[in-house]
């Protein structure tokens, strides 16, 4: 298992992580299989979405703020119940195909870490699952 450390800059943000994940794949010389990316934080998530237009990430964080606002009526004492809910809606992991040393995504796709309770230093766990070589 490898780790990827991120420093987020805002309370809510979608941080593009495709490039550092691809760099990890290249550095480790992983060729064919799958890459599991897991977030061990209860207020951070992983998703795959469009990476060509940065407005998509902004729209998503804005919509999540409307869908699940930070309310004082939540009972959780830390004041970040909205972040826990948003994380559960997105999920803690993604699994992507690696072929010939390259992460396989659709033309417009990118992998994102979703920060819902920052800014913070976050650590993601990355596990390569080797496939059968032909």
**Residues 47-73: pLDDT tens digits?**
999 999 999 999 999 999 999 998 778
Largest CA distance in the chain: 57
Separation CA 87–CA 117 (nearest Å): 10
Residue 38, pLDDT > 50, answer yes
Q: What is the pTM of this model?
A: 0.94
> Residue 130: what pLDDT?
97
User: How do residues 65-123 score in pLDDT, each as one tens digit?
Assistant: 999 998 778 888 677 899 999 999 999 999 999 999 999 999 999 999 999 999 999 99
For the chain, list the domains and their CATH numbers: 2-130 (2.60.120.460)
Instruction: Report H helices in the chain.
Output: 18-28, 54-67, 81-90
The DSSP-derived string for 85-126 is: HHHHHH-SEEEEEEETTEEE--TTEEEEEEESS-S-EEEEEE
> Residue 134: what pLDDT?
47
Separation CA 17–CA 112 (nearest Å): 5
List the structure tokens of 50.
Answer: 């469009």
> Residue 132: what pLDDT?
81
Separation CA 31–CA 36 (nearest Å): 14
């Amino acid at each position: 298992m490898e780790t990827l450390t991120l420093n987020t800059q805002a309370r809510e943000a979608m941080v593009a992580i495709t490039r550092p994940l691809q760099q990890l794949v290249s550095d480790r010389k992983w060729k064919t299989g799958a890459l599991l990316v897991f977030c061990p934080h209860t207020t951070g998530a992983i998703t795959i979405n469009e990476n060509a237009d940065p407005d998509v990430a902004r729209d998503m964080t804005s919509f999540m703020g409307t869908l699940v606002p930070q309310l004082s009526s939540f009972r959780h004492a830390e004041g970040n119940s909205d972040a826990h809910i948003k994380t559960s809606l997105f999920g803690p992991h993604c699994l992507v195909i690696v072929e010939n040393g390259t992460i396989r995504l659709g033309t417009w796709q990118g992998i994102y870490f979703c920060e819902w309770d920052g800014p913070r230093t976050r650590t993601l766990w990355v596990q390569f699952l080797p496939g059968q070589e032909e």
